[in-house]
Amino acid sequence: MHRLLVVLATIVLTSALGFSAAAAPAVAPTRGGTLIVGSGTDATTLDGHLYTDSPTATIMEHMTETLYELSPEGRVQPRLALSHTVSPDGRTWTFRLRPNVRFHDGTTFDAAAAKFNLDRVLNPATRAPWRFLIDRVTEVTAVDSTTLRLVTNAPFAPLLAHLTHSGLAMQSPTAIQRLGADYARQPVGTGPFRFREWVRGDRVVVTRFDDYWGEKALLDEVQFRVIPDDGARLAALEAGSLHVAVRVPPREIERLRAGRDPIVRIDTSLRTIFVAFNVTRPPFSDRRLRQALNYAVNKRAIVQSALAGTARVSDAPIAPNVQGYSPVPVYDWDTDRAASLLREAGYSRERPLRAVFHHPTGRYIRDAEIAASIQGLARRVGIELELRTLEFGAYIALTARPREQNDIQMYMLGWGTVTGDADYGLYALFHSSQWPPVGFNRGFYKNDRVDQLLDRARVTVDQSQRNQMYAEAMRLIAEDAAWLFLHSESQVTGVRAAVQGLIVHPGERVMAHQAWLRR
Amino acid sequence: MWAYVAKRLLLAVPVIFGVAFVVFAMVRVVPGDPAQIIAGETATREFVEAIRKDLGLDRPILQQFASFLAGAARGDFGRSIRSRAPVSEELAARIPNTVQLTIAGLLVAVAVGVSAGVISAVRPYSWLDASVMFVALVGLSMPVFWSGLMLILIFAVRLSWLPAVGTGTLAHLILPAITLGGATAAIIARMTRSSMLEVLRSDYIRTARAKGAPERTVVNRHALRNALIPVITVVGLQMGTLLSGAVLTESVFAWPGIGRLMVEGILTRDYPVVQAAVLLVALAFVFVNLLVDLLYALVDPRIHYG
């Protein structure tokens, strides 16, 4: 008996040792193979200037490149550009472009091609949704084959960050001119993968581009498959039909962690989830009530229970890896403070504050469950929230109505600061020029000092000065309790253990540029 | 008979026209603006307006309907608002998938459903009947998004016999066909059973038995054939439903069919896609119904259309 135990223990120990040796990443990358990535929706269009959704961005990122890129750590770094200089008045930007780059169809990438692309985005007839990122550019000039010059109508600090956006990708001018509207079904970029096929509603396939200017891809092929159902996508991953599955439901994390394959990875996202108050209408025109709700809601508990700890409690209106972020004092859970603020404002348990709370269902991770938690936590301090949900298309239309017709009291939304720069996050959400129907300040927040700071930060080129301005603006926004601050989401991705070198970018993109499959 | 077919086809015209108008009006009454959805949540008002103009959504609704009809008559349904590809192309990419799944699902449903119904009817109120009908009830009550996932978990994840999701090979078709056919089989089984029970009680069955025909012949030749009329009606209706897309099954198995195209179209307010798809489905329904009526005559020579 004893001997048997010893033998067993030896087997267990040696196999454990063997396993840890195998897990060491000393293996050299292998070339070849097909990586299959499963996501929830199909690409909308494959014209890199015309899409708005992140599943399409994921696909396009493999085929097209931008002048600058946002590293997963949040740094802006050159890609198709090599360097830049800015004139003393901050309005003329001169870029040196990378020489010897070719598009997949053989067309040379040069300043003329870059000009063609930026002009195409700027041309209102193109209807490029990301035009606003560079709409302060008034003039694009190809000085010589590797020098590009942009002139803006005013100094515009976020320009480099905006040029990282994949909606401003460089695509082959020859292909765009030749194919017209059909270009959207056969894109041509400069990236490490080239387009192969798009089977509607099923898959997009890209293959390695062997003449890529940079470090060549290791995989032969990447397939982006559409599997709408979260549960089925996860099952397909477990069955080995997929290598990567995005948006793993948080309640499955625990179970998956018990096994060795697939692996769950949790990566940060630039998306912040919040509840905005309509500050122009009662009851939330009263700042004390907005603060009371902020104190009443235990955000940490929501993140722990509804999101299985995968999100990060917000300590600013933008996520931490956005340039310009700094933590500001927000509201810790304090039901006594909440109760006393409610009393001050004339409410009590006998005469509770009543409000209607709009929220989407199925748009953000566990949005409806989170809304219900907020309702439950608010009830404990004597705030009665009535939940209302709508299908997302109708929801967006409802929240975008101009102030006179907008009777929403509080509503949940998410915002991805996809440029990685605070301007995009704060200006659109808090500047008073951005009230609907113009912009995204759908709670009609207005604070003159905040407006001033956001305007100045936009034209200040010095980043440390900008950071200070954003810090002050965010402090004011938090003091005003313009939002019920919630959390920034994390991306929960299921990955087969054989997949190496995969990047899940905070901009909600899965990148297989240097990924490989361990045999 | 051909006069009858012509008459039925003529009658279909107002039906199709009505469906076209109702769908056309309905997608526009639902709140949510396609221009806003294409432009993205973050778009400016000018941009949304510009897109609305591109799409012709700023024109009076009757004018929009007229140009839709004119296009449809030529087989041109415009371009998808979302993908900007011709709608006819979007539909053409999905139709073969939907037809494949419908046929496979119906084959499963008819094979399982009719046999189960006959078995039940031949031994009514026995434990066999009870258990078959219990299984049918379970099959009917199980939502396909659950039963589909269970099949994936068992046959793809645990046993690795079949691919979990997707299209391509015959193996890909098996699980979705069983899922889809399972629910329909249950309906067919119950229909077959009650219809068979009624027929088996009739005089000519007694006569057949009396003249000494073997039980197998009595059941298969005399009873089943006569019991099939209501079953064909149900199968026809189910076929129409399946052709209009089995959204849930398609979603679970990532099957790119008409149903998902329509639901995605509705969610993104892709008017041209929804209109064309619904019109196509209406056409399929009319056609299948006509086919069913003609099939009656084939099964039962007493019925004929003059």
pLDDT beyond 50 at B263: yes
Asked if A392 and A508 sit in the same domain, the reply is no
Asked if A101 and A47 sit in the same domain, the reply is yes
Asked if B69 and B104 sit in the same domain, the reply is no
Asked, for residue A253, whether it belongs to a domain, the answer is: no
pLDDT of residue B41: 65
Asked if B49 and B174 sit in the same domain, the reply is no
Asked if A331 and A207 sit in the same domain, the reply is no
Asked if A449 and A495 sit in the same domain, the reply is no
Asked if B110 and B174 sit in the same domain, the reply is yes
Residue of A nearest to B250 (CA): A228
Write out the residue range of the structural domain in which residue B38 sits: 19-73
Cβ neighbours of B33 in A, within 8 Å = 393, 397
Asked, for residue B277, whether it belongs to a domain, the answer is: yes
pLDDT of residue B272: 87
**What number is the average pLDDT over the span A247-261?**
88
pLDDT of residue A213: 95
Residue-wise DSSP of B52-92: HHHTTTTS-HHHHHHHHHHHHHTT---B-TTT-SBHHHHHH
Residues forming a β-bridge with A412:
A275
Asked if B29 and B140 sit in the same domain, the reply is no
The A residues from 436 to 475 touching B (CB cutoff 8 Å) are: 437-440
Question: What proportion of chain A, given as a percentage, has pLDDT over 90?
Answer: 66
Domain tally for chain A? 2
| Whether the predicted model's global pTM rises above the 0.80 cut | yes
Asked if B157 and B289 sit in the same domain, the reply is yes
Question: pLDDT band for position A263 (50/70/90)?
Answer: very high
A394/B255 Cα distance (integer angstroms): 27
Range of weakest confidence among A208-217, A439-448, B232-241: B232-241
Residue-wise DSSP of A164-197: T-GGG-B--HHHHHHHGGGGGGS---SSSEEEEE
pLDDT beyond 80 at A12: no
Asked, for residue A226, whether it belongs to a domain, the answer is: no
Residue of B nearest to A39 (CA): B254
Asked if A109 and A203 sit in the same domain, the reply is yes
**What number is the average pLDDT over the span B115-120?**
88
Residue A384's nearest CA partner among A405, A412, A414, A410 is A410
Residue A505 CA to its chain's centroid (Å): 8
For position A317, which CATH number holds?
3.10.105.10
Gap from A29 CA to chain B (nearest CA, Å): 28
pLDDT of residue A21: 39
Range of weakest confidence among A263-272, B30-39, B62-71: B30-39
Q: Which residue has the higher pLDDT, A383 or B142?
A: A383
Asked if A460 and A375 sit in the same domain, the reply is yes
Asked, for residue A237, whether it belongs to a domain, the answer is: no
Asked, for residue A440, whether it belongs to a domain, the answer is: yes
Q: Using the CB atoms, write b or e for B68-86: b if 16+ within 10 Å.
A: beeebeeeebbbbbbbbbb
Question: pLDDT band for position B24 (50/70/90)?
Answer: confident
Which tens digit of pLDDT belongs to each residue from A29-49? 899 999 999 998 888 889 999
**What is the pLDDT of chain A when averaged over all its residues?**
90
Residue A11 CA to its chain's centroid (Å): 47
Range of weakest confidence among A6-20, A481-495, B123-137: A6-20
Domain tally for chain B? 2
Asked if B28 and B147 sit in the same domain, the reply is no
Asked if B111 and B260 sit in the same domain, the reply is yes
Which tens digit of pLDDT belongs to each residue from A381-421? 999 999 999 888 788 878 888 888 888 999 999 998 888 89
For position A184, which CATH number holds?
3.40.190.10
Question: pLDDT band for position B224 (50/70/90)?
Answer: confident
pLDDT of residue B187: 87
Are A200 and B37 a contacting pair at CB < 8 A? no
Asked if A294 and A349 sit in the same domain, the reply is yes
**What is the pLDDT of chain B when averaged over all its residues?**
84
Which tens digit of pLDDT belongs to each residue from B46-55? 777 887 887 7
Asked if A334 and A456 sit in the same domain, the reply is yes
Residue of A nearest to B91 (CA): A200
Asked, for residue B5, whether it belongs to a domain, the answer is: no
Virtual CA dihedral for A303, A309, A315, A321, nearest 10 degrees?
-130
Asked if B124 and B251 sit in the same domain, the reply is yes
Asked, for residue B286, whether it belongs to a domain, the answer is: yes
For position B181, which CATH number holds?
1.10.3720.10
Which of B54, B82, B153 is opposite residue A235, by nearest beta carbon?
B153
Write out the residue range of the structural domain in which residue A99 sits: 2-220+491-517
Asked, for residue A188, whether it belongs to a domain, the answer is: yes
pLDDT beyond 50 at A20: no
Which tens digit of pLDDT belongs to each residue from A285-336? 999 999 999 999 999 999 999 898 899 999 999 998 898 999 998 899 999 9
Asked, for residue B80, whether it belongs to a domain, the answer is: no
Residue A236's nearest CA partner among B238, B157, B209 is B157
**What number is the average pLDDT over the span A214-232?**
93
Asked if B146 and B195 sit in the same domain, the reply is yes
pLDDT of residue A24: 45
CA atoms within 13 A on the CB side of A330: 26
pLDDT of residue B279: 87
pLDDT beyond 70 at A14: no
A vs B, Cβ pairs < 8 A, gives 140
Asked if B291 and B144 sit in the same domain, the reply is yes
Question: pLDDT band for position A8 (50/70/90)?
Answer: very low
Asked, for residue A247, whether it belongs to a domain, the answer is: no
Cβ neighbours of B164 in A, within 8 Å = 232, 235-236, 239, 241
Which of B44, B260, B267 is opposite residue A439, by nearest beta carbon?
B44
Which tens digit of pLDDT belongs to each residue from A62-73? 999 999 999 888
